[in-house]
Amino acid sequence: MADGPLKPDYRNLKIDMNHNKYSAAAIRKLVKRERVHGSVYTDPAIFELEMERIFGRAWVFLGHESQLPEPGDFLTTTIGNQPVVLTRDREGALHALYNRCSHRGNKVAALPGGNVAFLRCPYHGWTFRHDGALLSVPLRRGYDQARLRAASAELSMQRLPCIDSFSGFVFGKLASGGPGLKEFLGGTVSSLTDMVNRSPAGRIELAGRPFRLLMRANWKLFLENLMDAMHARVVHESTVEAARTRLAEDDQSLARSFAAEIISAVERNGSSYETWEKIGSTVYPRGHSFIGGFFNPANFPPSYVTALEKSHGRQRAAEILSVNRHNTIIYPSVTTQAAYQQMRVIRPLAVDRTVVEAYQFRLLGAPAENSSRALTFANVQNSPSAMVMADDVEIYNRVQEGLAAKRPEWIDLGRNLDDDVRSDGTTTGLGTSELPIRNQFRAWLDYMSSAPRKVRARR
């Protein structure tokens, strides 16, 4: 017997990972037309590949231009597992930088955001301009000056290959090539436009910092659940019953309040399956989709409708308010709820850990009560302490726990498999169809089964 513990052969492990487990053929075996293998939610190796091939190639939401209104503003964010800082320079241009000092690798911007004359590394004091260019080095005389000049681009903070915005929503990409932002968004541009159209002034702004919640579950489960109308009657049963009990009380003050509308919105989760079927779902290429909602112009306060009509005219205001979408998925990173002035951003941390950030928007030119309504909705529906969100998060966590079981190996996604209607580049289905989830996995497979072209960051 050999002396001492056996040492693992990491070279063989690397060969196995690269040529077997990560092969395109192996990946394609995980996704069938009506089902997916459970390992896509539980295998850390698959998660790492997702960070490289999905979040490493897709356009990912970075922030909203209203978060950086002034020259010198910055905010920190992530694309997959890559730390990023978004900045606005003195000329007003936006830049997306890898949040890493070129000296010793320290994270340069540690705060969520702020305004600075330049970016300064808190480790050794190297400074950088808002576009990432190296500005100064302490004790510069200790370095070979010719080398510093020759390596100035290499020693700068590196820029992401791609940054672009649509209607104020800023997206970035870690890889060059591929579709531009508008082409990537496809049909979901209408959902982002819907967010802005609802403002009487034609502009929106983020209202404060987001709610943050931690899921002990895989990031894909959140996106799937937002398109899953079948879960509402079951998962939210106790919450629905509480809402119905409250609405049944003879309370005139409640009947006249916005709280009643919110409670009614909660109660709608208990609608019949036939009602959920009728709201419909629409999917687009690259995993994007939306599911219909329950709103109509009568749901909005008269003061807001009046302000919108004054800006856009009665007919156009009615058209804007008639757009009826509950959740829109811009795969893989962000979801919108225009009627509620909400946006949620997905931050994957590990194969079984995900942070979800819920943002609220102000509609500029709208009455103040609109912002109050949006915040109330966020507190009741999307905050970590909300009853509805608590139901969902508990289910996400239980799904992840259940997936640890070895059998059965597959997850079924076959509901309404052959009922889809295709027309003009979109596909529609019933609101209770698993079409949007199958659509997400078609995009997942496209990303995952082809190796990305290696690119260098911009300097």
pLDDT in tens, 247-284: 777 665 555 555 556 666 665 666 788 888 889 999 99
User: Given this model, what pLDDT does residue 79 score?
Assistant: 97
- Domain with residue 419: its CATH number is 3.90.380.10
**Whether residue 121 sits in one domain with residue 262:** no
Q: Where residue 5 falls among pLDDT bands split at 50, 70, 90?
A: very low
| Better-predicted residue by pLDDT, 66 or 423 | 66
pLDDT tier, 332 (very low <50, low <70, confident <90, very high otherwise): very high
Single-letter amino acid code for the residue at 223 = L
Work out the pLDDT band at 9, boundaries 50, 70, 90. Answer: very low
The mean pLDDT value for 37-60 works out to 97
- When pLDDT is cut at 50, 70 and 90, the band that residue 240 belongs to is confident
Domain coverage including residue 191: 187-447
pLDDT on residue 259: 57
Same domain, 294 and 390: yes
| Three-class DSSP category at 165 | strand
CA angle 192, 358, 230 (to 5 degrees): 80
pTM above 0.75, yes or no: yes
The pLDDT assigned to 297 comes to 61
| 238 located within any domain | yes
pLDDT band at residue 369 under the 50/70/90 scheme: confident
Residue in the structure block whose two tokens are 């508990």:
394
Are 66 and 197 in a shared domain? no
Which residues have a Cβ under 8 Å from the Cβ of 298 and sit 6 or more positions away?
none
- Write the pLDDT tens digit of every residue in 176-226: 999 999 999 999 999 999 999 999 999 999 998 899 999 999 999 999 999
Strand runs (DSSP E) across 147-286, as ranges? 162-166, 169-173, 204-206, 211-215, 281-283
Strand partners, 87: 74, 95
Last residue of a domain, one of 105, 134, 165: 165
Separation of CA 177 from chain center: 22
Do the domain assignments include residue 452?
no
Of residues 298 and 392, more confidently modeled: 392
The pair of three-digit structure tokens given for residue 434, joined into one six-digit string:
């698993």
CA 211/CA 214 separation, integer angstroms: 10
Q: Note whether 350 and 389 are same-domain residues.
A: yes
Q: From CA 381, how far away is CA 222, in angstroms rounded?
A: 15
Is 342's pLDDT higher than 60? yes
Residue 68's SS3 state is: coil
End-to-end CA distance of the chain: 55
CATH number at residue 117: 2.102.10.10
Q: How far apart are CA 375 and CA 381, in angstroms?
A: 10
Residues 205 and 74 both lie in one domain: no
How far is it, in rounded angstroms, from Cα 92 to Cα 377?
34
| Among candidate residues 165, 195, 228, the one where a domain is terminated | 165
- Given strand 60-64, what is the order of strands in its sheet? 60-64, 169-173, 162-166
Q: How confident is the model at residue 98 (pLDDT cuts 50, 70, 90)?
A: very high
Q: Which long-range contacts (CB under 8 A, 24 or more apart) does 220-224 make?
A: 220/40, 220/41, 220/440, 220/444, 221/41, 221/354, 221/396, 221/399, 221/400, 222/346, 222/354, 222/356, 222/396, 223/329, 223/331, 223/332, 223/335, 223/346, 223/440, 224/436, 224/437, 224/440
Q: Are residues 303 and 408 in the same domain?
A: yes
pLDDT at 377: 80
Do 212 and 140 belong to one domain? no
The reported pLDDT for the residue numbered 1 is 39
Q: Which of 9-18, 110-119, 135-144, 373-382 has the lowest mean pLDDT?
A: 9-18
Is the CA virtual torsion 76, 79, 80, 84 positive or negative? negative
% of the chain beyond a pLDDT of 90: 66
DSSP 187: G
| Cα distance between residue 404 and residue 426, in whole Å | 35
CA distance 29 to 17: 16
pLDDT higher than 70, residue 132: yes
In a domain, 340, yes or no: yes
| 75 DSSP assignment | E
Domain match, 441 and 394 both: yes
Rounded CA-CA distance 20/382 in Å is 41
Tell me how far the alpha carbon of residue 119 is from its chain's centroid: 27
pLDDT number for residue 424: 80
> Is the CB of residue 107 less than 8 Å from the CB of residue 100?
yes
What pLDDT is recorded for position 6?
41
SS3 56: coil
Interval 19-46: pLDDT, tens = 446 788 999 999 999 999 999 999 999 9
How many separate domains does the chain show?
A: 2
Q: Which tokens in the block code for residue 178?
A: 């591929």
**pLDDT at site 150:** 75
- C-alpha 26/C-alpha 246 separation (Å) is 53
Say yes or no: 160 and 200 in one domain: no
Sole residue written with tokens 């106790």: 238
